[in-house]
Structure formats: C-alpha cells, structure tokens
Structure 1
C-alpha cells in the first residue's frame, strides 16, 4: 500500500485546512503578536493541535475554528512571556556568581508555566490565598488580614486550591 493510503480522514481534513487557511491564519496571528516568527510558530502549532485531536470534527466555519485554537495558543504565549519577564526581573539583581545557569532558568520557567496552568482554573481570591500561603509563606491569619476575609475563608480557599491541583495532577475526584 502506498503511504498516502495510511493517511486518516482527519489528516486529510487538516491537510486541506492547512493548504486553504495557513496563510490567512499566519497573517491573523501576526496582527495579534506583531512578530512574524512567533506568528509562524503558533500557526504551525495550531495545525499540530488539530492533528493531535482524537475526536472527529466537521467544520462548517473553518476560520472560526482555527481562530479559536490559535487564540488559546496566543494566550498561552502571552502568559509564558509574562512569566519569563517576571522571573528574569526577579533574578536580574542577583550577583553573577549566584545567578542561575541557562539550564536552571529553563527548568524554573517550565515549572512556573506548569504551576500557572494548574492555577488558571481557580477563582482569583482562591488563587491569591493559595499563592500567599505557598509562595509567600504567610500564615492563614495574616492572609485573612491582608485580604480582608475571615480565617475560615482562607482555610476553605487554600483547601480548594490544593484539591484543584490534586485533581489536575492525579485525574480523580475521589
């Protein structure tokens, strides 16, 4: 059998979408990002996401579908840039001897991105209380005072955040 016979229906659909809409998507992304290289990367990532989908899809509005996927990738891209900028600012004051190596910076940034993904589903107050407890090392009492909420609310928020992370990590609700 020739290799083309091994190509699934979904791969044919993605190939057709790519040929028909890649240039449009790349232009749309460039207008959002202001950077041709990032736009090209995210356009490719959009089609890779389509290839990785396990469910079948029928497209009545392919550009809207592609734009939805690409918009999520743009948001992820901006979040990564924001995390990287904040991290680099936080280590910029360190003496050269104490500055992390390039490899360590990459590892820390990957970890920070994973943490951000874990926490993105939380309500802002829950996320804030959790970060104040875990990252700032504040007691629940201090968090309650600083946030202007009850001690019980802080306990509930931190427990909710921990449970949220547990479910995301282990994929179980029980």
Structure 2
C-alpha cells in the first residue's frame, strides 16, 4: 500500500458515516425488528473490516446490500432452525423435556452445525443431512436431488471435510 492509499479501517469508516442510516433503514424493512436490524447493520460493517483488501467502490450500497443479504439469509435460516427445534420440543411429554440449560446448549450446537454446513452448496448440505440424519443411501439421495450417485459422493465428501475442519482445523 502506498502512503497515499486509505486503509480498510478508514474506508469502512467512510462507508459507515455515509451509508449506515440507509443500510439500517433497509434492514428494518426486511426484519421489522429495530434491534436485530441494528445488530445486522453492525455485523455488515464488521465483515468489511475483516476483508483483506477493500477497494474503493463506485457502488457502495450494492456492496453493503450484498453483505447484508447474506447475513439476513443466515439469520432467517437460524431462526427457522430454532423454531423447528422448539416446535419438536413442545410435542414431548413434560417428563422428558430438556432443562432450559440443555435447550440452550442444543440450540447453540444447532447454530454451530448450521454455520458449518452453511459453507456448502444447498445440494451438498441437503445430501449430507439426508445421509446423516435420515439415513438415506446414495442412490436415493441422487434421485431426490436429481444428480448422479458420484455427485452425491462428492457432496458427502464436502460435508465430511467441513466436519473435519470444524474438529481439527484446515488440513495441511
């Protein structure tokens, strides 16, 4: 970086100053929850700070929208997952209901798994879950997803790789 080039921190500061209110308004329309919109707005700018290089962009709102949309998708997916878990719990008899602490631990584990599998394509994620949770075989998954059996094997390998990375870190 030459002496005259602004740092990422400086560029993010400018984007924050010039576009934060707009982004917050956009998120509020999508969420109908001011507090969650505020959180996602902050997360958007934190993501920008984490980028190795942040070029000056002609369309800063497009960049912010792209990042915020990804965060929104993650938020909605996690919310749906949590609702499904809590709905399943509501059908259990009181005698086998997990404690509040156990529910919190389980929800965090579900979030972690979702984040882990969220790095996969939708078909790879579906194949992995069909195989691991539903016990479906390769041919059945291939038919359901409309792909070849060899492609299912690739998807499962991708899922297992993500599990390996979560457990042991990137392979060397």
Band of TM-score, shorter chain: 0.7 to 0.9
Q: Which residue of 2 aligns with 1:40?
A: 38
- Could you list the runs of 4 or more consecutive aligned residues of structure 1 that deviate by over 6 angstroms after TM superposition? none
**Structure 2: runs of 5+ lacking an equivalent:** 1-5
- For residues 140-171 of structure 1, the C-alpha deviation after alignment (integer angstroms, 9 at most, x for no partner) is 3xx7458658xx93872674244432564332
Q: CA deviation at 1:58?
A: 2.0
Q: Larger Rg: 1 or 2?
A: 1
Whole-angstrom distance in 2 between the partners of 1:128 and 1:43:
30
Q: What is the TM-score with the length of structure 1 in the denominator?
A: 0.75
Q: What is the TM-score with the length of structure 2 in the denominator?
A: 0.75
Whole-angstrom distance in 1 between the partners of 2:141 and 2:47:
42
SS of the residue corresponding to residue 92 of structure 2 reads coil
Mapping for residues 85-164 of structure 1, pairs under 5 Å: 85-120=83-118, 121-122=120-121, 124=123, 126-136=124-134, 138=135, 140=137, 144=139, 148=143, 153=149, 156=153, 159-164=156-161
Distance 1:145-1:51 versus aligned 2 partners, 3 A rule? closer
Whole-angstrom distance in 2 between the partners of 1:61 and 1:87:
40
**Structure 1: runs of 5+ lacking an equivalent:** 1-7
Residues 130 and 157, structure 1, Cα contact 8 Å, conserved in 2: no
Whole-angstrom distance in 1 between the partners of 2:136 and 2:61:
49
SS of the residue corresponding to residue 86 of structure 1 reads helix
Q: CA deviation at 1:107?
A: 2.0
Distance 1:93-1:56 versus aligned 2 partners, 3 A rule? same
Residues 21 and 63, structure 1, Cα contact 8 Å, conserved in 2: yes
Whole-angstrom distance in 2 between the partners of 1:146 and 1:52:
37
Count how many residue pairs are aligned between Structure 1 and Structure 2.
160
